[in-house]
Chain A
Amino acid sequence: MADTDRTDDLILPVEGDGASRRSFLKLAGFGVASAALAGCTRGPTRLVVPRPTGAEGVVPGRPYWIATTCGGCEAACGVLAKCRDGRPIKLEGNPQHGVSRGGLCAVGQASLLDLYDGRLVDGAQLRGSAVEWSALDDEMRTALTASRGRTRLLTRTLTSPSTRAWVARLEKQHGVRHVEWDPRSASALLDAHKACFGVRAVPQMRLERARVLVAFDADFLGTWLSPVELAKRYRAGRNPDGGAVSRHIQLESRLSLTGCAADERFAIAPWEQRAALSAICARLAEHAGRKPPFDLVPDAPRPDDLVRIADELWAARGGGAVLLCGSDDPGAQGLAAYANDLLGAYGDDGVLNLGARSGIRRGDDGALAQLVADMAAGEVDVLIVDGLDPLYELPGELGFRDAVTNVGLVVTTSAQPDELHSVADAVAPVPHALACWNDSQQTAGEYSLCQPTVPALRSARTLRASLAAWLGDSREDRELLRDHWRTEIAPRLARNVPFDAFFDRVLHDGFVASSGEGVLGVSLDAGALAELLRTAAPAAPAGDGLALVLHANVAVPEGRHAHNPWLQEVPDPLTTIVWDNAACLAPETAARLGVKPDDVVRVGPDLELPVRVVPGQDPRVVAVALGYGVSGTDRFSRIGPSWLEGRLTVQEGGTVGSRAAELLSFDADGLRWNGRAVDVVGTGESVEVAATQDHHRLEVPEHLAPKRGAVRDAVLITDLKTLQEDPAHALHRHHVPESTLWPDDHVTTGPRWGMAIDLAACNGCSGCVVACQAENNVPVVGKDEVRRHREMTWLRIDRYFVGHGDDLRTVHQPMMCQHCENAPCETVCPVLATVHSEDGLNQQVYNRCVGTRYCANNCPYKTRRFNWFEYERADELRNLALNPDVTVRSRGVMEKCSMCVQRIQEGKAESSRTGDPLADGAVKTACQQSCPADAIAFGDLNDPESSVAQLVRGPRAYTVLEELNVAPGVTYLADVRNAPKSAAEKSHG
């Protein structure tokens, strides 16, 4: 293995100002330094370097946890940063956090790696050269004073209340105007609420209360608003094993992760949304005995289904019914607000709560358009941009690129050298969320705190500290934050507690919530609603044209995530593509255009993309993911192994994927993601896209199958009615041979570790995939290696399409080593490098493995990964993210899921230290911990009371490829669909 020492004895101060990035690296280097050889038979001299002074509660080799807040997106989920030796090595969801409740998505998991990105700007820059912060501050103070009223601050939604306070001061003192805008804009939703109810806010969505949930283009389990929170809440309302199960109906143009989870799903085109919503509204109004205050939109698709949906909603009204709309069309949003109002969704017991409105989206498309117009008119002297790269995120037709040349001083706070850097006069880089003080307000009464987990790795300053410095307040950032909490937040939330105790408590918990926010009584303004419907509606494209649907991917939702190699290598859960975006077409559309997967098509004037065929998508649209084509991503061109036949992941000077933002359109009502008419034409070329779709298939190819029908499906689906009425026959089970060639010699006396994965809960978000990668030091291999089926992920998400048309069901199945009792891999290993442990684990012993790969050949689940190369570990800064508790594997060694055995051993060791028996749930695997839907259970199968043992006994439990009789330790729980009453009979198992 690698000839380096672990750095376990190196402990560095967590807080403190003295440590520079250089000194940190120097100290970190000591740990891995190996000096001269001390003779032939001796290994290299290794050093142990304890920190000069101990830190309270920090013991060498023992992890400690810091509660803080994720900086991956505005949702600001609570995380516990697992730290070793003065640096975070893994992020886990904070189970006590009131919003995210322990879940963490792929972006959040991967945000750890961004902390160790060596390419970020270090220190202030002025006109291209590095300067002292004081020089920048002087320049800014002069500019702000001189340009009173002619300064604009452009940010994404600022969720930090303390930063907002400083923005308010800046506005007051220098007449600065603050513009908020979000690349994943919810402007239409906000505008519609402003018009209808007078509150420009996203309501809090208490999805756990929903009994009937209808969603229009709202990918709330994938990328919409706060997916972890919404997935937690959604799952709380869906418990097929005895609890209530909501009815979820999704109407959308492309296939989203939320659509995959829906009980019923209809593909409708973007321009049909208003008509469909209007039909539902009309039916609801009919039930309510009211007349809709607007003219109905004609030509609704599938009128019968819409009436049925409206009837279902009406039956659950007054708290159990909600209609979510993720559309960018203010008219559609207005109709959704009207429907929710009729359904009583805004009431006391309703799903939507405008009293505890969400603070994570405030962006205003109109204000952005006004800003660009002001810039073009020469009315802006100073432009400060935070968290955005408008040159990348905005389409050229908005004219930002030209307008910005009229601005005297452009300041960006982005630490990643992005496109705005090329026109910026000054750079005031912000630190990573794990290396700074910050706060976040999720709803009116919920606050999170963010604290440093590592000494500053580079010179950076939060926006709050920069604004304060420019206003002449040079206090430390922590003091600025504390000051705001002392004067503004503590008086409301900590009435009888001294401030220091209150602040320390919040710092410890990472989160504080006031008890009970009132529900805001709202009444709908009918006139404003009618006005909303007079805005331009999306139109159907003329002739053979397709409507473009731009969307965010789960792994790389925005351009700012494109510099993270972990995220780039997460296969998109639907297309299974890595390191690329694609033009997704319905099968019939692809056939009509005469293109097949991997063919390159031109979408619009000049966007060239490879084709992916996605069933379930509306045949009249083409779906393209934003977030790709970010300049500077050619830094990954040589990621992965370099060898004779190796190909670059990205061409030098190129980008990962292609930038689709150019096709966003801006009209009077805001930014449009959907509905732009585009021509899609084949270019005649084709490329080899790296997609994991056909890798590691479990199905036996038809020509090899012993007998048709002898091979069962890997995923099973049942419907709720059957499950409740006749649980014994809910699943179509296969005959499992009773006799076996394997001796019954794996007797476990202590625990037997096992896992249960609920396919009804899993929505394919891929948070577990990144969690596993981070926990187990899984290398990034690059696009070419993935193309060669050599991805290294221990945990993959298999995606199965079952059925066709409206009956199409998409099931995501996390697949990892099944830890079989009768493991086929174990019998073929010639060197006993993979053997069974006494607690039911299939062990992989790296130091024994000689790399015959027989085991991988013999694994029916295809979950073993071979180290074809010594994967790149040259970036010493990135190596700080490695988990010191897991061996970094070297070339020629097989590896696979270990069920996080390092965590099991840690749990056992702690139990032996404290003398307390290992409780159920005390050991959580990385994938289980991260899952926002709580789909994964892990524990002792020998303990009949453990949660996993109970699940395994349940009616939905089955094992994949049961007929092979390999007795897997991983059990799956069949997917459950709450089918409409009429369709329950024809559902298939």
Chain B
Amino acid sequence: MSWTAPLAFAGCVLCIGMGVVVAESDVRLPGNNQGYEPEQPIHFSHRVHAGELGMDCLACHFAAEQSRHAGIPSLDVCMGCHTHVTSGFDAVLEERDVAKAEGREPRRIVSPELRKLYDAMGLDDDLEPIPGAEAKPIEWVRVHGIADYVYFDHRVHVARDLACEQCHGPVQSMERVRQESDLSMGWCIDCHRASPAEPGAVGMVGAEPKHVSIDCVRCHY
């Protein structure tokens, strides 16, 4: 990596020299993870859950109402439904047809992705606990990450009826979650200061102008 640093530096100097404005392009400032779409240990589809099934975001991310963090639900939240739903609907229908043709009872179909969930929970094919198996946590990859010195609070925004999509984008259409906004401070402030000319920050919450703080210690402490 030793040669990349001076190269990057030279690149920066060149950009500034040419007066290139770094915006709205593929070039991102350091720390800007816009468009980040990492692979997750389980192929969990927000498109299916939030889009097709129309589940409310807060059904799983219930912490967003009460806490700074939206929270990744613990596995037993998944199990609330997936004790019964063990596979996609298509696979179940197919098994039903096959079973009908073979003249037997349809078997329980477990999708490979849900198998990972059951493994983590220490459950066998009949969803019975495997003796001696401990529930293991799943290591999800964080998509929306902000710096350590920023303290964003979900609960305040949820309490003021901001739609989740306003920051997180059309998650209901994402197969794999992608960071839609750049989550930069300027992007936050744009909202907090809907009218930049006005001192003292009056932002628009829905159609209502509301006092929204732009104090540094609102987020940095």
Which residues of A line the B interface, CB within 8 A? 1-2, 4-6, 8-11, 18, 27, 30, 38, 40-43, 45-54, 59-62, 749-750, 835, 837-839, 841, 843, 845-848, 885-888, 898, 901-902, 905, 908-910, 912-913, 915
A779 shortest CB reach to chain B, Å: 16
Q: Given that A43-B33, A913-B65 are contacting pairs, would A5 and B145 also be in contact in the complex, using a CB cutoff of 8 Å? A: yes
Q: In this assembly, does B137 line the interface, its C-beta being within 8 Å of a C-beta of chain A?
A: yes
Assembly CA distance A51 to B66 (angstroms) = 18
B198 shortest CB reach to chain A, Å: 13
Assembly CA distance A6 to B150 (angstroms) = 11
Q: Which among A49, A835, A910 is the interface contact of B140 at CB below 8 angstroms?
A: A49
Tell whether, in the assembled complex, residue A902 and residue B135 are in contact, meaning their CB atoms are under 8 Å apart. Answer: no
List B contacts of A52 (CB < 8 A). Answer: 74-76, 120-121, 135-138
Q: In this assembly, does B55 line the interface, its C-beta being within 8 Å of a C-beta of chain A?
A: no
Tell whether, in the assembled complex, residue B153 and residue A909 are in contact, meaning their CB atoms are under 8 Å apart. Answer: yes
Does more than half of chain A's interface fall in helix, strand or loop, or is it mixed? loop
- For residue A47, which residue of chain B has the nearest CB? B139
Assembly CA distance A60 to B71 (angstroms) = 6
List B contacts of A750 (CB < 8 A). Answer: 211
Assembly CA distance A60 to B65 (angstroms) = 11
Tell whether, in the assembled complex, residue B147 and residue A50 are in contact, meaning their CB atoms are under 8 Å apart. Answer: no
Tell whether, in the assembled complex, residue B142 and residue A5 are in contact, meaning their CB atoms are under 8 Å apart. Answer: yes
- A-B pairs, 7 with minimum CB distance: A52-B135, A61-B69, A60-B71, A61-B67, A837-B215, A54-B74, A62-B67
Q: Given that A835-B216, A838-B215 are contacting pairs, would A50 and B75 also be in contact in the complex, using a CB cutoff of 8 Å? A: yes
Assembly CA distance A885 to B220 (angstroms) = 10
Please encode chain B, from 202 to 220, with 1 for each CB lying within 8 Å of some chain A CB and 0 for all others.
0000000001010111101
Q: In this assembly, does B8 line the interface, its C-beta being within 8 Å of a C-beta of chain A?
A: yes
A-contacting 9-mer, from B13-21, B155-163, B166-174: B155-163
Q: In this assembly, does B149 line the interface, its C-beta being within 8 Å of a C-beta of chain A?
A: yes
A42 shortest CB reach to chain B, Å: 6
Does more than half of chain B's interface fall in helix, strand or loop, or is it mixed? loop
A-contacting 9-mer, from B24-32, B81-89, B101-109: B24-32
- For residue B32, which residue of chain A has the nearest CB? A41
17 contacts across the A-B interface (CB closer than 8 A): A1-B147, A4-B148, A48-B142, A49-B137, A50-B138, A52-B74, A52-B121, A52-B136, A53-B75, A60-B69, A60-B71, A62-B66, A750-B211, A846-B220, A887-B149, A910-B155, A913-B158
Q: Which among A2, A41, A54, A59 is the interface contact of B77 at CB below 8 angstroms?
A: A54
Q: Given that A59-B71, A61-B68, A901-B221 are contacting pairs, would A838 and B213 also be in contact in the complex, using a CB cutoff of 8 Å? A: yes
Q: How many A-B residue pairs have CB under 8 A?
A: 158
Q: Given that A62-B63, A62-B66 are contacting pairs, would A845 and B4 also be in contact in the complex, using a CB cutoff of 8 Å? A: no
Q: In this assembly, does B73 line the interface, its C-beta being within 8 Å of a C-beta of chain A?
A: yes
Tell whether, in the assembled complex, residue B140 and residue A47 are in contact, meaning their CB atoms are under 8 Å apart. Answer: yes
Q: In this assembly, does B134 line the interface, its C-beta being within 8 Å of a C-beta of chain A?
A: yes
Assembly CA distance A764 to B216 (angstroms) = 33
Q: In this assembly, does B112 line the interface, its C-beta being within 8 Å of a C-beta of chain A?
A: no
B142 shortest CB reach to chain A, Å: 4
Assembly CA distance A843 to B28 (angstroms) = 30
Tell whether, in the assembled complex, residue A49 and residue B217 are in contact, meaning their CB atoms are under 8 Å apart. Answer: no
- For residue A914, which residue of chain B has the nearest CB? B159
A915 shortest CB reach to chain B, Å: 8
Q: Given that A50-B137, A837-B217, A898-B217 are contacting pairs, would A887 and B148 also be in contact in the complex, using a CB cutoff of 8 Å? A: yes
Q: Given that A51-B74, A838-B215 are contacting pairs, would A30 and B137 also be in contact in the complex, using a CB cutoff of 8 Å? A: yes
List B contacts of A61 (CB < 8 A). Answer: 63, 67-69, 71
- For residue A910, which residue of chain B has the nearest CB? B155
Q: Which of A6, A51, A913 has the most CB of B within 10 A?
A: A913
Assembly CA distance A608 to B218 (angstroms) = 52
B59 shortest CB reach to chain A, Å: 14
List B contacts of A908 (CB < 8 A). Answer: 156
List A contacts of B220 (CB < 8 A). Answer: 843, 845-847, 887
List A contacts of B155 (CB < 8 A). Answer: 909-910, 912-913
